[in-house]
Amino acid sequence: MDALRISPRYTSSDWQRLDSGNPKDWTKAVEIVRDRLNGRFLRFASDCLKVRDSGFVVLAIDCLLAETIQQFKDGVTDGRNRSAEMITRFLEGLQFQPDFNADSRKAFYLDIRCGLLHQGPTGQWEYGETKRAGSRRIIRLQNWIIAKLKDLKRHQEENPVVDPEEWPEAVDLVFVTEFGRPVNANSLVYKHFKPILKKAGLPNIRLYDLRHTAATLALSVGVFLFFPKLILIFAYHL
C-alpha cells in the first residue's frame, strides 16, 4: 500500500522516519508541519480572500486550522470528539487575551466554529418546528419495539458517547453515530441503504421512498382496513 500523503511534498513515511532524538530531524519535522498547514489550509484561505464575500469560508478554514495547530501542540493523535477542547485551548493563548475569557471562548466555539461547520448541504438533518401544528403525530409502537428502544436508552445511559458541548442537537436523539454525532443522511444512504438495495436486488430508490413501502406493507396486513385515511398520512407525511 502506498504511503498516505500528509502534505503536498511529504507522505506518512517521511514523518515516520523522523528520529525525535536527532536535532536535524526536528528541523525536518517543522518543515513537514509547515508544508501541511500551507498545503491544507493557508493556500486555500489565501485564494478565497481574492474573492469578495469569502469571509464565511475563510473563517471556517481558520477554525479547522486552529484545531489542527492545537492538536500538533498537544500531541493529540486522535482528535475525534475533542473539537471544543482544542478550540478553547487554542484561544487561551496570550495573543488572544484579554479579549477571549472563558465565556468568550465557549461562545466562539458554539456560535462560530459549530455555527459555521455544521451549516450547508452536509447531509445533516435539520431540526425545527413542523410547518403546521397538525403535522405533529403520535405513533403507537408495538410492545417489542418499545422494549428495544428502552434497551437502547439504557445502553446509551450506561455508555454515553454524546458530547453536549460539541453536538448539543444530538443530546435528545434516539439514534446517533458511534462517535455521538447526529446520523449523516448522505452517509446513511450511500454507506448502508444503497448497498442493502443492491444486495437484495431491489430498484435504486431513494430512502424517502420507503414511506410508500411502509404504507403498502401496512395495507397488505390490514392495518388500514378501518382507517383508510391513514394511507394518505403514511404516504405523504412520513
Instruction: Give per-residue pLDDT as tens, 121-130.
Output: 445 555 666 6
76-102 average pLDDT score: 88
All cell numbers assigned to 50: 481574492
Could you tell me if 214 and 234 are in contact, meaning their C-beta atoms sit under 8 angstroms apart? yes
The Cα 121–Cα 8 span in angstroms is 28
- Give pLDDT tens digits for 142-193: 888 899 999 988 888 888 888 777 777 777 888 888 778 788 777 788 888 8
pLDDT of residue 37: 92
The one-letter code for the residue type at 199 is K
Could you tell me if 169 and 127 are in contact, meaning their C-beta atoms sit under 8 angstroms apart? yes
Whether the predicted pLDDT of 237 surpasses 50: no
Helices (H) and strands (E) in the chain, counts: 12, 0
16-28 average pLDDT score: 90
131-139 average pLDDT score: 69
Angle at 183 between CA 178 and CA 187, to 5 degrees: 100
- Confirm whether pTM is higher than 0.75: no
Compute the CA torsion angle 8, 59, 94, 90 (nearest 10 deg): -70
Query: Bridge-partner residues for 11, per DSSP?
Result: 5
pLDDT of residue 168: 74
For CA atoms 55, 79, 35, 93, give the dihedral sign: positive
pLDDT of residue 125: 56
Mean pLDDT score across all residues of the chain = 80
The one-letter code for the residue type at 96 is F
Compute the CA torsion angle 113, 115, 117, 119 (nearest 10 deg): -170
Sequence-ordered list of residues with C-beta below 8 angstroms from that of 92, at least 6 positions apart, any chain: 100, 105
The one-letter code for the residue type at 70 is Q
Most confident range (mean pLDDT) of 58-67, 156-165, 211-220 is: 58-67
Closest CA to 165 of 219, 109, 211, 118: 109
The Cα 119–Cα 176 span in angstroms is 18
**Domain coordinates of the chain in residue numbers?**
12-117, 200-238
The Cα 67–Cα 50 span in angstroms is 24
pLDDT of residue 89: 92
Angle at 122 between CA 118 and CA 128, to 5 degrees: 60
Could you tell me if 82 and 68 are in contact, meaning their C-beta atoms sit under 8 angstroms apart? no
